[in-house]
Amino acid sequence: MVQCTTSSSSSTEEVELDENIEDLDGIIGDGKGQFGDLVRDYGWKVRRMVEEQSEMRKVAQVQAEAFYVPVFLFNDLFFQFFQAEVLSGLLYKLRNSAPNRYACLVAESNTDDLESRHGLVGVVDVTALRDEAVLRHLSGAKEYLYVSGIAVLNTFRRRKVATALLKACDMVSILWGFEYLVLRAYEDDLGALKLYGNAGYIIVSADPPWMSTWIGRKRRVLMIKRPSSYSN
């Protein structure tokens, strides 16, 4: 957990993040024109994140709200620190990844109704990786596309946003030429397992007990999928 002292430390971190984002803007431009809309389905459209300040902050907010674990004291302050950590991690990945090795995908309404005013409603990360422990489950593959950080705002859950995001990951894997998509889920998260199973992912392994249950950590399963263009 992040240690905090006073609000001044939060302000200092905010200034540093602002400077990092401005530096990043100068390096990679506005990020437009990459892919276009990958998916238009279920009333949502999914595209690559525009790499500018307001959108990156919104992405961090969506993921922070999804993964933050509330605390009893100073909850708002701890949430601010957690959100800053999420944004810092996003900046790090953008700075240190080639455009065809990492992408942050965002979902928003595909209609002109009131929902379109909410802006981003869901987020997912895709990263090219080559972990040998994973590759042994992927016949003939030297790399794979890893899906992580999938998050949907509470008020938009159970409305196919996550399904649209996963379909967009399929499209990225095809565009980048990856034969396999890979993700991890907690073994006891039945909702997530059903979502991924319906999207075509299958379980191929799980964390060994000495890395999970024996030390008080929830056990994760490894799930893989081949996009439809590789399935025949």
The set of catalytic residues is 196
Residue type present at position 227: P
d(CA 146, CA 94): 16
CA distance linking residue 157 with residue 215, whole number of Å = 32
DSSP states of 20-81: HHHHHHHHHTT-TTSS-EEEEETTEEEEEPP-SHHHHHHHHHHHHHHH----SSSHHHHHHH
Residue 79 is which amino acid? F
**Could you tell me which of 212, 209, 126 has the C-alpha nearest to residue 171?**
126
